[in-house]
Structure formats: structure tokens, C-alpha cells
Amino acid sequence: MRSQVTVTWGEPAAYRIDLEEVQPMPHDQARQWLDEQFTQMGCEPLRATGKVLTVDKILCIAQAAGQDHFRDPGHREWALAYARAASAALAKPVITVDVPGQALAY
């Protein structure tokens, strides 16, 4: 089964992270990693109620990190951890994060 996370800022800026040969991240560890990144990057809740869904965290972290964290080989480990956490937290093998569209597809 195919397993990958794609983070895109539009077609020329789509970053595919293949998770086929990577050890899966445990669900609770994935949620903790996303929580830590959300806080460290100063992300704000997307909803007026202040409730932060896992999907919101995944979107906000990608937006806060910017394309460089996905494009630059120096951030490869971070991008891989992001992809592993997103895949594990949502329990989905294939995810597309559309940053400008503020949408996730799986």
C-alpha cells in the first residue's frame, strides 16, 4: 500500500514525502509531536471557538514552517517527522496538505 504525505503551495511547489520504508510513528507520539510544533511555531487556532483540531494543527504547522522546511535538504528529518506525525495522527496512509487552500485530502 502506498504511503506518502504531500504538502503543496500550488503545483510547482508540491513536496512529496514517501513513507514506504519509514517506521510508523505511534499515534500518541504523533499527537504530542504536532502539539509541540504547534506551540513552538506560535500557531494560532483557525476557528473562532478556539478549538484546535488535528487537521488544523497539520495545516498551521505546514504554513508556519514554510516551503523551506520541505524543500531544503537540511530540514529533511523535520519534514519526515512532520509526514510521519500527520499520517499517524490521522491514521491515513496518503495525505495531501494544500496550504494556500487550507485543506487536507486523504
pLDDT tens for each residue of 25-74: 999 999 999 999 999 999 988 777 778 899 999 999 999 999 989 999 99
Residue 53: CB atoms within 10 A of its CB come to: 11
Mean pLDDT over each residue of the chain, to the nearest integer: 92
pLDDT for the residue 87: 96
Q: Indicate the pTM of the whole model.
A: 0.91
Which of 81, 94, 97 is CA-nearest to residue 1? 94
In this structure, the strands spanning 4-8 and 103-105 are: unpaired
Residue 50 is predicted with a pLDDT of: 74
Name residue 96's amino acid.
T
What pLDDT is stored for residue 1 in this prediction?
Answer: 58
4-8: strand order across its sheet = 14-18, 4-8, 94-98, 103-105
Rounded distance, CA 64 to CA 60, Å?
6
Task: Name the residue ranges covered by the structural domains of the chain.
Answer: 4-105
